[in-house]
Chain A
């Protein structure tokens, strides 16, 4: 029944998408929160809205100033994620936002929106809940899509998960035109990180198989980088070294920061820690930012390797580094009182949180200078 609904929605979209693209802009309706005070900080794009609200606002912040681009509608309290597609004078961001209430493990209930100075316009429906769009270095926007497979009824006490038809679509942000660049089946085809050109890394889970694939989105072809990559997450690309950083479970409480070479698929271990949320992030020069075990804030592994040094400008809590521009990184800081985006100036270790603890959800979309 859900699949028929999806077909119906797709048919409606086929007719309406061009019109929505042209006329579907929505106007801002949420008041932005106070802006970053440090004047030399780069411009940061955020998606901001009440945790239980039905819309979020794309806000650009630099120094003491901020400006809103557009409001993205979503289901009440719905999942939302996004990324900066283009910076400069006329920035463009992509947002995936949940459109229907969560119920019965329905996974493909979200839509892709593009947001610029003209507002927000919907580009695609049937996008994976809570997924983050990925922008290739070549400028394509990739999204995870699919449809719910048949429900699983366990009969033998063996855990099985629903197997869904999956696909990855590429969208040209300048026209809104989309095409499918990969199709398969399984539990998820996770857009792990962008590589060079229009290549992206995809973690494909299908029952007991966990396969890391390199997807060439321009040509619609993939190659297997590595099989058997179970319990891996938080991928980021170090272009200078040609390797991808990620976290992988070592045991019940210990995780490792690992690197896989794009050249020979060899895996090396950078560091191990007693934490299930190390959240490593390649800074692009051999250094790796991570969240220190024990929630002691931000740490940085030196380019030569070894134990991470503590930076932790925001004090105790977990720090997920999400984007870098020059000397600055953007992160999500979480402690007992708040979850807030923050900026950190790497040379000095100074940091600044952007509000938090007020019931607002603030998603870091990235620096607008970066592209």
Chain B
């Protein structure tokens, strides 16, 4: 009986601490109220990371077993015909401008899979690792990919992020000739990666019109 009372008291005391950790702090120490607990590991070097992004940008057909295979959805549309235009309507192996992946992941996590204490970077809303993968990573959610590898493997995490970006490409409005080799054509897909909220709209009148490169407003 005493043991149960002690356990209950400990749970009551511990719960607010964990809750606070997942609502008010940054991603390190990691939130521990998500689908899987943080894994342990160390970050690749910047050089290794850059090489990794280049390989993942070539798409799952090119990188093979390095990361997730996009659940078999390893192609997407190319050409204005996908948006009701009269242009081409091709299906091509999924690939990405390599600098785009590097830029997105720099913004998402500063290229960090692990905190300095070697636990996975996990934000308060269950964004995991370099790509800050949130889809399917909250408690009770499911995913086609392995959540434990999203937490433990930098390569796997980055490839899942690329698969999510590929989904945004498939659903977003076309830009120009809808050519995935042209980085400008990823405008709406990139916007969608963080969410189609007005806070991500570059025309938001709250942000200074002369800010450099649509940087985060001060």
A binding-site residues for B, Cβ under 8 Å = 1-2, 5, 51, 75-77, 79-80, 99-107, 128-132, 148, 151-162, 164, 187-188, 190, 192, 203, 205, 231-234, 247, 276-279, 291, 318, 320, 332, 334, 339, 361, 363
Contact = CB atoms under 8 A, between A and B. Distances in A.
B70 interface: no
B216 A277 contact: no
Contacts, number: 126
Given A132-B206, A233-B205, A276-B209, A157 B198 contact: no
A334 B212 contact: yes
Given A157-B172, A361-B218, A107 B209 contact: no
A100 B209 contact: no
**Which A-B residue pairs are the 4 nearest by beta carbons?**
A105-B195, A105-B197, A277-B209, A187-B198
A154 B196 CA distance: 9
A334 B210 contact: yes
Given A80-B218, A154-B172, 19 more contacts: A2-B125, A101-B27, A102-B216, A103-B125, A104-B195, A130-B206, A151-B195, A156-B171, A157-B82, A161-B196, A162-B196, A190-B206, A192-B205, A205-B198, A276-B209, A278-B209, A318-B210, A320-B208, A334-B210
Nearest to A79: B217
Contacts of B93: none
Interface of B: 23-24, 26-27, 82-83, 123-125, 127, 132, 134, 138, 168, 171-174, 188, 192, 194-201, 203-210, 212, 216-218
A104 B134 contact: yes
A76 B82 contact: no
Contacts of B173: 154, 157-159
9 contacts: A51-B218, A101-B27, A152-B192, A156-B171, A188-B204, A279-B208, A279-B209, A334-B210, A361-B218
Nearest to B132: A103
B171 A154 contact: yes
B195 A159 contact: no
A292 to B, nearest CB: 12
A160 B124 contact: no
Q: Which interface residue of B199, B200, B216 has the most chain A CB atoms within 10 A?
A: B199
A105 B209 contact: no
A157 B197 contact: no
Given A1-B138, A233-B209, A332-B208, A161 B218 contact: no
A271 B70 CA distance: 52
Nearest to B200: A105
A26 B195 CA distance: 35
Contacts of A80: 218
Contacts of B188: 159
A77 B217 CA distance: 10
B16 to A, nearest CB: 11
B204 A247 contact: no
Contacts of B198: 107, 161-162, 164, 187-188, 205
B197 A161 contact: yes
Contacts of B204: 130, 188
A297 to B, nearest CB: 12
A195 B215 CA distance: 30
Given A132-B206, A277-B209, A153 B171 contact: yes
A279 B205 CA distance: 11
Given A130-B206, A161-B201, A162-B196, A100 B23 contact: yes
Given A101-B26, A203-B205, A363 B218 contact: yes
Most chain B Cβ neighbours within 10 Å, of A1, A103, A148, A161: A103
Contacts of B194: 104-105
A153 B135 CA distance: 12
Contacts of B216: 77, 79, 102
Contacts of B123: 101, 103
Contacts of B210: 277, 279, 291, 318, 320, 334
Contacts of B196: 105, 151-152, 154, 159-162
Contacts of B83: 157
Nearest to A75: B26
Residue among A75, A104, A233 facing the most chain B CB atoms (10 A cut-off): A104
